[in-house]
């Protein structure tokens, strides 16, 4: 399947859900998470996206890469930023608008989650298995 950045939203979701995408980098994860948050209520996205991401990682032979805390943190940040955008502009953003307004979400390391979590927390087995609350002193509100 084509590179994710040139796929339509529908093509990207279909490729992700069917595990047919080849390369799948951090920005692609963020875009798919954005599409899940746009499509489903936040609580439902927190169930559906992790399940699909685990399935995708397993299909690619990398089941150990899934990280619950990072996944949930990104979903919650995306949901908050979509809601803020909608409150200010009266509509939800499309991907082009959202990605242009949120470049910090597209950077991997150091990424936005490093403002909220200590490295040792993110590196823990517990953080990989369950969502942990942010633990960095003075993290953004």
pLDDT tens, position by position, 33-81? 999 999 999 999 999 999 999 999 999 999 899 999 999 999 999 999 9
**pLDDT value at residue 139:** 66
The whole-angstrom separation of Cα 118 and Cα 81 is 22
pLDDT of residue 110: 79
Q: Which of 118, 120, 123 is nearest to 134 (CA)?
A: 118
Length of the chain: 141
Q: Is 48 within a domain?
A: yes
Identify the domain containing residue 54 by its residue range: 4-110
In eight-state DSSP terms, residue 115 is: G
Is the predicted pLDDT of residue 141 greater than 60, yes or no?
Answer: no
Whether the pLDDT of residue 1 is over 80: the answer is no
Q: Which two tokens stand for residue 80?
A: 């908050």
- Does residue 139 belong to any structural domain of this protein? no
In a domain, 76, yes or no: yes
* Total of domains in the chain: 1
Of 11, 12, 27, 18, nearest to 60 (Cα)? Answer: 18
Given a cut of 80, is residue 5 above it in pLDDT?
A: no
């Amino acid at each position: 399947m084509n590179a994710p950045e040139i796929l339509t939203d529908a093509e990207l979701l279909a490729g992700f859900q069917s595990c047919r995408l080849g390369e799948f980098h951090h920005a692609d994860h963020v875009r798919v998470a954005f599409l899940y948050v746009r499509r489903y209520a936040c609580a439902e996205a927190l169930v559906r996206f992790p399940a699909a991401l685990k399935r995708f990682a397993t299909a690619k032979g990398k089941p150990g890469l899934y990280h619950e805390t990072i996944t949930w943190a990104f979903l919650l940040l995306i949901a908050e930023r979509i809601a803020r955008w909608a409150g200010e502009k009266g509509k939800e953003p499309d991907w082009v608008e959202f990605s242009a307004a949120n470049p910090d979400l597209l950077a991997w390391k150091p990424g936005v989650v490093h403002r909220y979590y200590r490295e040792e927390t993110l590196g823990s087995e517990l953080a990989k298995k369950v969502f942990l609350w942010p633990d960095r002193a003075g993290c953004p509100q």
